[in-house]
Chains A and B, each alone.
Chain A
Amino acid sequence: DTAVSQTPKYLVTQMGNDKSIKCEQNLGHDTMYWYKQDSKKFLKIMFSYNNKELIINETVPNRFSPKSPDKAHLNLHINSLELGDSAVYFCASSQAPQYNSPLHFGNGTRLTVT
């Protein structure tokens, strides 16, 4: 049973297109996240939702829009894709937003914009 699953695993698309990445967790966690890992492997948070409420919105272009229809799902929609959006996007969840709650990550979505 996959705890945090995201689809698709790979996404290749052209500049200017719109795409979505879906994420689901079956751990019963309250908090979900999107992280971006760049080509140098640096991981940076983008968004976080707690009980469907947006609690973190880092400095991310407004072409990126998260949506949490329920506690178990957090999707990421990207409009007008640019070359610089190429990266690995990780979804994660944690039981709570508190400091002692580890994040459990999905396997990542490798986005390539050509």
Chain B
Amino acid sequence: AQKITQTQPGMFVQEKEAVTLDCTYDTSDQSYGLFWYKQPSSGEMIFLIYQGSYDEQNATEGRYSLNFQKARKSANLVISASQLGDSAMYFCAMREGWGGGSNYKLTFGKGTLLTVNP
């Protein structure tokens, strides 16, 4: 089973509008972290936002916020007031557990390509 599922291969949004990128995850661990990364066409991987499994509040970083629904195992990224520069591939990722073996790794979803239209 996939650990991270991003069901939207591509999304379109108008400039200045908000957009939600979906992410669901699968884990039996109580301790885990969820991350979103942005990869523009230039290729670098940019860390956007983090949500811990024990965090009671949804994470926010500027125009990025995370809609974390633990019971549904979803961690959707919300980008408010989209800008042309937001056009990029967005990856959801998860890290499970507290150290040890494969818990060290960050597992990525397949990504969502966001296009912001003027």
Tell me if A103 and B111 are in contact (CB < 8 A).
no
CA A33 to CA B104, docked complex, whole Å: 10
Tell me if B111 and A99 are in contact (CB < 8 A).
no
Size band of the interface chain B makes with A? 20 to 34
Mark the stretch among A39-47, A64-72, A79-87 that contacts chain B: A39-47
Tell me if A56 and B110 are in contact (CB < 8 A).
no
Interface check B31, CB cutoff 8 A: yes
Interface check B101, CB cutoff 8 A: yes
CA A52 to CA B18, docked complex, whole Å: 43
Please report the number of residue pairs spanning A and B whose Cβ atoms sit closer than 8 angstroms.
70
Tell me if A88 and B43 are in contact (CB < 8 A).
yes
Tell me if B110 and A98 are in contact (CB < 8 A).
no
Interface check A75, CB cutoff 8 A: no
CA A50 to CA B50, docked complex, whole Å: 21
Tell me if A99 and B108 are in contact (CB < 8 A).
no
Tell me if B105 and A56 are in contact (CB < 8 A).
yes
Which A residues from 48 to 65 make CB contacts under 8 A with B?
48, 50, 55-56, 58
Tell me if B103 and A99 are in contact (CB < 8 A).
yes
Mark the stretch among A11-19, A20-28, A104-112 that contacts chain B: A104-112
Supplied contacts A56-B105, A99-B95, 16 more A-B pairs, CB within 8 Å = A33-B105, A41-B89, A41-B110, A43-B108, A45-B105, A45-B107, A48-B104, A88-B43, A99-B32, A99-B53, A99-B97, A99-B98, A103-B106, A107-B43, A108-B43, A108-B44
- A residues contacting B by CB (< 8 A) are 31, 33, 40-45, 48, 50, 55-56, 58, 88, 90, 92, 97-105, 107-108, 110
